[in-house]
Homo-oligomer: A and B are copies of this chain.
Amino acid sequence: MIKIAVDAMGGDYAPKEQVEGAVLAIRMIDDIEITLYGDEVEIRKYLKSDERITIVQSEGVIGMGEKDPIYAIRNNRKSSMALALSSVKTGDNDAVVSSGATQALIAGAHILIGRMKPMKRTAIAPLIPNVKGTNTIILDAGGNIDIKPEFMVQQAYFAKVYAQEVLKIVDPKIGLLNIGSEPGKGRELDKEVSILFEQNKNINFIGNVEPKEIMDPPCDIIISDGFTMNIAMKTIEGTAKGLGKMLKQELKKGFFGKIGMLLSARNLRNFKHRLAPEDIGGAMIYGLKGVVVKAQGSSHNIGFYNGIRQAAIIVREDVLKKVKTIIESDVL
């Protein structure tokens, strides 16, 4: 049995969507057991059966709008997030899924689980939808503002193993996010990383990827430092939001427009769905001693279920061990 710790209190709609997501996961996936960390009374409201589900009472919650999330997780060791993370450290569980505040989760994971030995930096790798209808791995969406080229090689290895084992992609292709497609573009970091990737026979490097290809990329994995990828990720979000508003403003203009919009309502909803982080699942934090999956804060039950499903695959395929092997066999 794969044992999964669920932070039932983290997220915009906790604990309802988290508990429902866990119940869905139990129904859909045979080889998992779930421990829900949170307020038992609240959790019970949404839990009909205890089949393969245990509840562990926590005290306090790391809020989504926490001013200082790192302080919060440090000083709230009995919060649902902290207890869930610790349970992986002690071996009680194999993986954690949380849709709580990202920074608190990263900091908590560092403090309570720790970094995997050979990896020098952690990274967060969300999935984003692409035009082909599949997902692209994007990293580092985390906080590595200053990073050495060698550390990005390790992160590329991790993404490769993840793509192979979890997304079942054969020989995954990796591209470097850059301002031009020609070799030699970008900052010193980009130039150095390009050379390291180029020379590395473990990495199927396709070269630079321009952000204008970000939703229809010629590769399975797009990598950059934490600052740049954060800018790109949040620009996607901002553009999608902005275009959505503008589309609505335009579509409802005029008589035919209004009727057209009514008839298109279902398809417009599907379109929105296709972009919802919901249906894509969570972001894995690379580089820890345990499996930590961050589901979107705005996750509903399906989104949270997808995070659990992902975590189960990561454990089942022994991703961490495979990453360790590839990094350790490497002479950096």
Min Cβ gap A232→B in Å is 5
Q: Mark A131-164, 1 if CB is under 8 A from B, else 0.
A: 1000000000000011000000000000000000
Contact B261 A260 (CB under 8 A): yes
B-side contacts of A252, CB under 8 Å: 267
Most buried by B among A233, A235, A253: A235
Which segment, of A15-23, A108-116, A207-215, A312-320, faces chain B? A207-215
- Shortest Cβ distance from A215 into chain B, in angstroms? 2
Q: Which of B253, B260, B271 contacts A250 (CB 8 A)?
A: B271
| CB contact between A253 and one of B146, B215, B253, B267 (< 8 Å): that residue | B267
Complex contact B241–A212 (CB within 8 A) = yes
Q: Are B227 and A251 in contact (CB under 8 A)?
A: no
| Known A-B contacts A211-B238, A214-B238, A238-B215; A264 and B261 likewise in contact (beta carbons under 8 Å) | yes
Task: Return chain B residues, CB-CB under 8 Å to A260.
Answer: 259-265, 267
The reply to whether the CB of A254 lies closer than 8 angstroms to some CB of chain B is: yes
Residue contact A236 to B239, C-beta cutoff 8 Å: yes
Q: Is A202 an interface residue (CB 8 A)?
A: no
A56 interface residue per 8 A CB criterion: no
B243 touches A240 (CB 8 A): yes
Within 8 A of B (CB), among A217-246: 227-228, 230-243, 245-246
Question: Residue A247 at the B interface, CB < 8 A?
Answer: yes
- Interface code A154-176, partner B: CB below 8 Å = 1, 0 otherwise? 00000000000000000000000
State whether A236 and B235 are in contact (beta carbons under 8 Å apart), knowing that A131-B242, A146-B187, A254-B266 are contacts in the complex.
Answer: yes
A211–B187 contact, CB under 8 A?
Answer: no
> How far, in Å, is A213 (CB) from chain B's closest CB?
6
* 7 other A-B residue contacts (CB within 8 Å) besides A250-B271, A260-B265, A263-B263: A131-B246, A211-B233, A228-B231, A235-B235, A246-B274, A250-B270, A260-B263
Instruction: Name 14 A/B residue pairs within 8 A (Cβ), A-sorted.
Output: A131-B246, A145-B186, A179-B227, A186-B227, A213-B238, A214-B242, A215-B241, A215-B246, A231-B235, A251-B267, A253-B270, A256-B264, A260-B263, A261-B267
